Amino acid sequence: MQTFADVVSLRDQLKSARRDGRRIAFVPTMGNLHEGHLTLVRKAREQADLVVVSIFVNPMQFEREDDLNNYPRTLEDDLSKLNSESVDFVFTPTPEIMYPEGLDKHTFIEVPSLSHMLEGASRPGHFRGVSTIVTKLFNIVQPDVACFGEKDFQQLAVIKKMVTDLALDINVIGVPTVRELDNLAMSSRNSRLTLSERQRAPVLARTMRWISSQMRGGRNDYPSLIEDATDQLRAADLEPDEIFIRDANTLQLLNENSTQAVVLMSAYLGQVRLIDNTIVELSNINSLDGEEE
């Protein structure tokens, strides 16, 4: 495994690989790697001859300075895990390398509509930061395939649309969420939970599964369903952030043509924001009755 902090050296290695006709897969991360990330790496290995992983805590996608500062950074342990997975190249740039003139003077990429709805409405600039850094990393690595986790459902939708709109020749693959034994979605932020918080954290997934079971049973009074779910979270001392029930293909409101719904949830445990989502097939649901406010 080779590790690079500068763009030129990594590009030189990848140009050589391309000349040899080798297919390249890419997994962008912010580090603090867990089994979910390693699942992405294994999926990438299935798709290509070479696997490139980036580790970069991107300041452009954080709207709160304390959240950026508190994000776990475990580079030595991350590199050990990637080496065990036989990753070929790891890119570990600094903010000074990625944003040499600072964030305010850097060109940005923004996906309209998708970046400003749902989570984007409550986190202004977040998806602009995501699409900008992913585009820049794509330009540096120029992969054939890129793997992203489906846990960040809206982020994946933003990236897929960006790739389509900019005619990037990259196959973006969504990989199902990896969960702990108690069904908590794996996340780098889970390491920041206290023992007590970690014990309560699975309530988010449990409530999400309850919503999906209600929907599969035919319940479609979505505003009331969301209100009931909110009460369940609060009863377990989670602070609900957002709950949405939307069309899984467009992220717009459900309508008579919707075939799949996605339940998108987020809640706070202390200072840690947890997110999760699940898909609900609508083929057996005959009518719709409103949406969340």
276: nearest Cα among 233, 228, 237, 222: 233
β-pairing, 2-4 vs 145-149, is unpaired
Catalytic residue among 37, 106, 116, 126: 37
CA angle (188, 105, 134) in 5-degree steps: 35
2: nearest Cα among 52, 38, 63: 52
- CA–CA separation, 151 vs 148, rounded Å? 9
Q: CB of 134 within 8 A of CB of 110?
A: no
**Catalytic site includes residue 116:** no
- CA–CA separation, 3 vs 98, rounded Å? 16
Could you give the 3-state DSSP secondary structure of residue 96?
helix
Q: CB of 160 within 8 A of CB of 146?
A: no
Q: CB of 278 within 8 A of CB of 263?
A: yes
Joined tokens for residue 121: 């409405």
- CA–CA separation, 164 vs 185, rounded Å? 28
- CA–CA separation, 290 vs 221, rounded Å? 6
- CA–CA separation, 89 vs 3, rounded Å? 6
Q: CB of 30 within 8 A of CB of 93?
A: no
Catalytic residues: 37
